[in-house]
Amino acid sequence: MAPPAASLPRLFLLAHVVAVAVAASGDTTTAAGQFRVNCGASVWAADSEGRVWDGDDASRFAPFVSGVAAGAPREDPSLPSAVPYMTARVFDSSYTYSFLVRPGRVFLRLYFYPAAYAGRGAGDALFGVAAGGVTLLRGFNASQAALALEVAYLVREFSLYVSAGSLDVTFAPSSSGHGHAYLVPAINAVGGRGPCLKAPPHVLWARGSARPPRALLPDAALQTMYRLNVGGTPVSPGDDSDLLYRSWDDDAPYIFGAAFGVSYVKDSNVGIQYSASVPPYVAPASVYASARSMGPAAQFNLNYNLTWLLPVDAGFRYLLRLHFCEIRYPIRRLNQRSFYVYVNNQTAQEGMDVIALSGGIGRPVYADYVVAVTAGQTDLWVALHPDVNTLPQYYDAFLNGLEVFKLQTYDRLAAPSPQVPDPEAGGSSNAAQARSKRNVAAWAAAAGGLVAVLVG
Ligand SMILES: *[C@@H]1O[C@H](CO)[C@@H](O)[C@H](O)[C@H]1NC(C)=O
Ligand SMILES: *[C@@H]1O[C@H](CO)[C@@H](O)[C@H](O)[C@H]1NC(C)=O
Ligand SMILES: *[C@@H]1O[C@H](CO)[C@@H](O)[C@H](O)[C@H]1NC(C)=O
């Protein structure tokens, strides 16, 4: 039953692209079972990396699709590809796209290119997105988010647990709009692989909170905040492992302070050896084949922390996955390198000895931590420092990859839209600029492709 028109502000849903990608293993016919829907398009088209997107006109994912198909008036040069960004669907009431997926974890990616579609102003859209009973976005103003981050387009990636056989993604107007709202979504979901939690993550206590946050529930919804190839070069979606189409970004924009450590690549005679506990889909070899360490000078290392500063939304818990792999001789024995991992200035791990954890050189391993970010806090701090308690041979610390996922709180992942810095009011402080640049790097990179894998 349709709600009475007067009860809702008019929703103009600009569905740029709705893509659902199901990366079910064994299905090689349709690019690993990925579904991609290019909203507002009537025929299929390929993007610049050769991936095919279906139009949503007469699509099996969008029966009786309503709204108006529209094109963006101009193509921003930063768009990775015209497909799927340049078309959108403008709705005036809520609409649900349905994708048949196997029960399990699904990656859902939404692509937004705020523009004036069908004569609507780019800033007029205010909408929410829900899937699987979780509010992913609420009162979302894609135009404002893009302005705040100084980007032309946005990609939001979620990892959702689908218990039934279908993933329903609903776009709806927000009640607080200016009488109308419109939106520009693109969807891509990858199923069959989740963030695999082999073991419960280490749960850190929030600073000042009385109780530790609950551990990650197997069916929790997550939003990818960061996925970094630490000390390495960005990995584009097409180069990700297992056709998961994740983007792995450069970590350098997030390093705090002047000490960047030293980035390095593996010795040529070291191979990355995956195992049953760390299979290739956890992260591509290019993530493990490079790293950033504190550097060769022990005394210098003892005097600083190698620190990453990651802007996040307050009031949520975050799952941090740190990827490690020793990739250079002579380090192949126990107690050659041992270090602390600090998260938000708390000791998450002491005596981190990657050889002990992984079993040898060239063997990838990861460690998961969950931390609560309380009201008022806007950055997640991740820091490394040598642990000299066991008198290791080298006073050093290193990291190969870092993923940060926001965990659902009650039934939502949505957070308020970031504020647009006001240069007139001095709002564009160095910190704000640095933050927006960092966000740009992370989100822009995410746009190329995809999502994340949580755990098993
Ligand atoms: C969305 O954000 C833009 C830019 O900040 C603003 O001009 C516009 O009024 C906002 N739209 C709504 C519906 O709030
Ligand atoms: C960590 O410590 C630094 C330096 O003392 C401080 O500026 C920062 O706010 C702290 N971060 C958190 C999350 O407590
Ligand atoms: C490194 O970070 C930890 C946790 O915030 C802090 O206790 C320690 O003083 C820092 N060390 C240096 C050398 O900055």
CA of 140 to the centre of ligand 1 (A): 10
Ligand 2 atom nearest to CA at 380: 13
Residue 202's pLDDT band (boundaries 50, 70, 90)? low
- Tokens representing residue 28 in the block: 């090689």
* pLDDT above 50 (res 455): no
What DSSP designation does 304 have?
Answer: -
Ligand nearest the Cα of residue 145 is: 1
pLDDT at 430: 38
Ligand 3 pocket mutation pick from 207, 304, 382, 385 by most atoms within 8 angstroms of CB: 385
Crossing angle of helices 430-447 and 142-149, in 10° steps, is: 120
**Mutation test residue for ligand 1: of 141, 154, 183, the one with most atoms within 8 Å of CB:** 141
Atom in ligand 1 nearest the alpha carbon of residue 125: 13
Residue predicted with more confidence, 450 or 306: 306
SS3 call for 362 = coil
Which residue is closest in CA terms to ligand 2's atom 14? 344
Ligand 3 atom 1 nearest Cα:
305
Which of the ligands is closest to the CA of residue 318? 2
Residue 193 confidence class, pLDDT cut points 50, 70, 90 = very low
For a mutational test of ligand 3's pocket, the pick from 207, 339, 341, 342, i.e. the residue with the most ligand atoms closer than 8 A to its C-beta, is: 342
> pLDDT tens digits for 31-49?
345 778 888 888 888 888 8
Quick one: pLDDT at residue 69? 84
Question: How far, in Å, from the CA of 381 to the mean position of ligand 3?
Answer: 11
Q: What is the 282 CA–ligand 1 centroid distance (Å)?
A: 39
SS3 string of 400-447?
CEEEEEEECECCECCCCCCCCCCCCCCCCCHHHHHHHHHHHHHHHHHH
Q: Which ligand 3 atom sits nearest the alpha carbon of residue 383?
A: 2
**From the alpha carbon of 207, which atom of ligand 2 is closest?**
14
- Answer whether 322's CB lies under 8 Å from 369's CB: yes
> Over 46-91, what HEC string results?
ECCCCCEEEECCCCCCCCCCCCEEEECCCCCCCCCCHHHHCEEEEC
- Whether residue 8 is predicted with pLDDT greater than 60 in this model: the reply is no
Which residues have C-beta atoms less than 6 Å from ligand 3?
303-305, 342, 345, 383, 385
What is the model's pLDDT at position 203?
56
Q: Give pTM, 2 decimals.
A: 0.84
Contact at 8 Å (CB) between 401 and 323? Answer: yes
147 lines ligand 1 (CB under 6 A): yes
Ligand closest to Cα of 125 equals 1
- Identify which ligand lies nearest to the alpha carbon of 174: 1
Q: What is the pLDDT of residue 421?
A: 64
- Segment 198-224 mean pLDDT: 59
Say which ligand is closest to the CA of 378. Answer: 2
For domain 222-421+429-455, give the CATH superfamily: Galactose-binding lectin (2.60.120.430)
Distance CA 226, CA 247 (A): 9
Minimum mean pLDDT range among 307-311, 399-403, 406-410, 417-421: 417-421
pLDDT of residue 164: 83
Q: Kindly tell me if the per-residue pLDDT of 444 is higher than 50.
A: no
* Atom in ligand 2 nearest the alpha carbon of residue 377: 13
The CATH number of domain 15-190, selected from 2.40.50, 1.20.81, 2.60.120, 2.60.220: 2.60.120
Mean residue pLDDT of the chain comes to: 77
Res. 10: pLDDT tops 50: no
Distance of CA 84 to the CA centre of its chain: 19
Q: Where are the domains of the chain?
A: 15-190, 222-421+429-455
The answer to whether domain 15-190 and domain 222-421+429-455 are alike in fold is yes
More confident residue, 16 or 374: 374
Calpha distance 114→14 (Å, rounded): 9
pLDDT digit string, tens, across residues 68-80:
888 888 999 999 8
Instruction: Provide the token pair at 410.
Output: 């009650």
pLDDT of residue 204: 52
**Statement: residue 98 has pLDDT above 80:** yes
Structure tokens at 326: 């020793």
The closest alpha carbon to 251, from 235, 273, 272, 274, belongs to 235
What would the mean pLDDT of 117-137 be, rounded to a whole number? 84
Is residue 446 over pLDDT 50? no
> Measured between alpha carbons, how far is 6 from 179 in angstroms, rounded to an integer?
10
Nearest protein CA to atom 13 of ligand 3, as residue: 304
pLDDT above 90 covers a percentage of the chain that reads 36
DSSP single-letter state for residue 239: G
For the Cβ of 124 lying below 6 angstroms from any atom of ligand 1, the answer is: yes
CA–CA distance, 134 with 61 (Å, rounded to integer) = 20
Provide φ and ψ at 137, rounded to 5°: -140, 145
Q: Which ligand is nearest to the CA of 207?
A: 2
Residue 374 in contact with residue 422, Cβ under 8 Å? no
On the question of pLDDT at 335 being above 70, the answer is yes
pLDDT single digits (tens) 273-321: 999 888 888 899 999 999 999 999 999 999 999 999 999 999 998 989 9
CA dist., res. 92 & res. 125, Å (int): 11
At 202, the amino acid letter reads H
pLDDT band of residue 176 (cuts 50, 70, 90) is: low
Residue nearest to atom 9 of ligand 1 (CA): 123
Residue 33 pLDDT: 55
Report the range of poorest mean pLDDT among 1-10, 231-240, 341-350, 433-442.
1-10
Which of the 8 DSSP states describes residue 191? E
User: Which of 434, 436, 402 minimizes the C-alpha distance to 419?
Assistant: 436
Dist. CA 346 → ligand 3 center (Å): 9
Q: In sequence order, what are the beta bridge partners of 321?
A: 368, 403
CA nearest 265: which of 298, 230, 297?
A: 230
Distance CA 241, CA 229 (A): 13
pLDDT at residue 29, as a whole number = 28
- Residues 323 and 318: their CA atoms lie apart, in Å, by 16
Burial of 208 (0-12, 13-18, 19+ CB in 10 A): exposed
**In the predicted model, is pLDDT for residue 369 greater than 90?**
no
pLDDT for 213-263, tens place per residue?
A: 455 667 888 999 999 999 999 999 889 887 788 899 999 999 998 899 999
**pLDDT (0 to 100) of residue 423:** 53
**pLDDT given at position 230:** 98
